[in-house]
């Protein structure tokens, strides 16, 4: 029954993740279009319109029509564009009318005013600004509708309030972790309890080490004793699965939201261009970007080190787990060099929150 529930949850996650995701812009040769300045692969299904001239040119040169895409944020220059054009038109018309001879008939003046009004209306309509919204645009599947668009909207929302989309990114990251805190706290508590009962589990392993592992009755007895140990210490073996399953789609949605929102990856924040990768930044002589890679390395190492300390089972399994997690740490560090600064910041914030959470939970158990 537990296996069925586990596979059911996994299937649900797969259904959500397979109904819409990030696609990348490709050139006529079928290769991904990369911004040479930032090193970032441009997203084809962006949620809102870019404002960077180089980025706009890359999209247009590859046949992408940006006119149907809403703005991430309508700033004052965009909002007032139509009003400025209208005022200029009215001023020009007034000057022209003053220069006209008095002999012009009133009917001709009325006709000209009518034409001017129609032209002003056309300019206003063509330059009106439509901002990105959760329910705007075409339907792209459950994944985009339930996860990606809402997250992008929240980041933009806090970015508008604070004046910096980098701050919007940080605030949204912390909100996600706070929302998941009750689940992750429970999982962390279970992990700490598992560490405490490790000696009992080791004794149980030794007790059945010399018995026939293929004997069904022996294995059932061993399982029953193990479950008694879990029950006595208030541990549910399945409790750690749900938080992990919930965090995975949220993590992927956050990455998608960043990649598909130009307002985020076009901004400069804390000295970093959020769309630039550390590889490109360091390659351009800006060694400040190495800080991101170092912070990713440190926070990832300590986060995974905590997970290593909580491993269960025999010594051989512990060694295998340690080797696998070390390889995972190295892989994440290498990936961070090629990820945008925005993604690196999210990863650092997420790891930092996890470390603080684990510290507080461990302290509360003393």
The model's confidence at residue 238, banded by pLDDT at 50, 70 and 90, is: low
> What percent of the chain stands above pLDDT 90?
9
Query: Backbone phi, then psi, for 268, in 5-degree steps?
Result: -100, 130
Residue 146 is classified by DSSP as I
Are residues 164 and 80 part of one domain? no
| pLDDT of res. 25 | 86
Are residues 261 and 356 part of one domain? yes
**Structural domain tally of the chain?**
2
List Cα–Cα distances, 23 to 17, 26, 255, 265, 336, in angstroms: 13, 9, 13, 16, 20
Are residues 120 and 20 part of one domain? no
Residue 211, domain member (yes or no):
no
Dihedral, CA of residue 245, residue 5, residue 221 and residue 213, to nearest 10? -70
- Cα separation, 17 vs 2, in Å, equals 23
| pLDDT of res. 107 | 55
Residue 85, domain member (yes or no):
yes
Are residues 92 and 43 part of one domain? no
Residue 215, domain member (yes or no):
no
| pLDDT of res. 138 | 76
| pLDDT of res. 171 | 94
| pLDDT of res. 165 | 92
Are residues 245 and 188 part of one domain? yes
Residue 19 is classified by DSSP as S
* Exposure of 135 in the CB half-sphere (CA atoms within 13 A): 0
| pLDDT of res. 80 | 44
Are residues 275 and 177 part of one domain? yes
Is pLDDT larger for residue 306 or for residue 118? 306
Are residues 273 and 186 part of one domain? yes
| pLDDT of res. 155 | 93
Residue 221, domain member (yes or no):
no
Residue 353, domain member (yes or no):
yes
> Has residue 121 got a pLDDT over 50?
no
Are residues 181 and 95 part of one domain? no
Are residues 240 and 119 part of one domain? no
Mean pLDDT for all residues in the chain: 75
Is pLDDT larger for residue 226 or for residue 337? 337
| pLDDT of res. 170 | 92
Are residues 248 and 122 part of one domain? no
Q: Highest mean pLDDT: which of 25-29, 89-93, 98-102?
A: 25-29
Are residues 258 and 288 part of one domain? yes
> What percent of the chain stands above pLDDT 70?
71
| pLDDT of res. 360 | 80
- Cα separation, 360 vs 320, in Å, equals 29
The model's confidence at residue 14, banded by pLDDT at 50, 70 and 90, is: low
Residue 317, domain member (yes or no):
yes
List Cα–Cα distances, 321 to 208, 226, 313, 328, in angstroms: 22, 21, 10, 10
Q: Highest mean pLDDT: which of 14-28, 29-43, 87-101, 341-355?
A: 341-355
Residue 225, domain member (yes or no):
no
Residue 141, domain member (yes or no):
yes
| pLDDT of res. 4 | 45
- Cα separation, 250 vs 66, in Å, equals 28
| pLDDT of res. 20 | 53
Are residues 302 and 155 part of one domain? yes
pTM for the whole structure: 0.71
List Cα–Cα distances, 338 to 245, 275, 282, 284, in angstroms: 26, 11, 11, 14
For residue 309, the enclosing domain spans: 2-73+132-197+233-364
């Amino acid at each position: 029954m537990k296996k069925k529930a586990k596979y059911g949850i996994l299937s649900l996650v797969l259904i959500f993740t397979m109904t819409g995701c990030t696609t990348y812009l490709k050139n006529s040769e079928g290769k991904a279009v990369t911004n040479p300045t930032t090193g970032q692969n441009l997203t084809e299904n962006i949620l809102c319109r870019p404002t960077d001239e180089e980025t706009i040119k890359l999209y247009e040169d590859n046949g992408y029509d940006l006119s149907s895409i809403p703005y991430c944020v309508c700033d004052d220059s965009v909002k007032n564009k139509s009003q400025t054009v209208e005022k200029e038109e009215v001023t020009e018309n007034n000057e022209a009318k003053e220069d006209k001879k008095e002999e012009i008939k009133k009917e001709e003046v009325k006709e000209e005013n009518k034409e001017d009004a129609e032209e002003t209306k056309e300019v206003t309509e063509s330059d009106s600004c439509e901002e990105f919204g959760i329910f705007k645009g075409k339907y792209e599947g459950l994944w985009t509708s339930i996860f990606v668009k809402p997250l992008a909207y929240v980041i933009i929302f806090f970015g508008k309030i604070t004046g910096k989309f980098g701050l919007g990114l940080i605030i949204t990251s912390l909100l996600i972790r706070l929302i998941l805190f009750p689940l992750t706290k429970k999982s962390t508590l279970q992990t700490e309890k598992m560490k405490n009962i490790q000696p009992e589990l080791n004794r149980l392993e030794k007790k059945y080490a010399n018995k026939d592992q293929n004997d069904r009755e022996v294995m059932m007895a061993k399982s029953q004793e193990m479950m008694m140990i879990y029950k006595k210490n208030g541990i549910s073996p399945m409790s750690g699965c749900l938080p992990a399953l919930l965090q995975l789609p949220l993590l992927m949605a956050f990455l998608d939201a960043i990649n598909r929102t130009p307002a985020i990856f076009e901004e400069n924040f804390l000295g970093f261009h959020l769309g630039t990768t550390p590889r490109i930044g360091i390659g351009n002589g800006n060694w400040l970007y190495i800080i991101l890679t170092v912070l990713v390395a440190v926070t990832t190492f300590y986060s995974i080190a905590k997970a290593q300390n909580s491993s269960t089972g025999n010594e051989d399994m512990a060694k295998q787990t340690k080797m696998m997690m070390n390889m995972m740490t190295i892989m994440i560090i290498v990936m961070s060099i090629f990820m945008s600064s925005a993604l690196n910041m999210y990863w650092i914030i997420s790891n930092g929150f996890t470390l603080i959470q684990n510290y507080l939970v461990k302290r509360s158990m003393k």
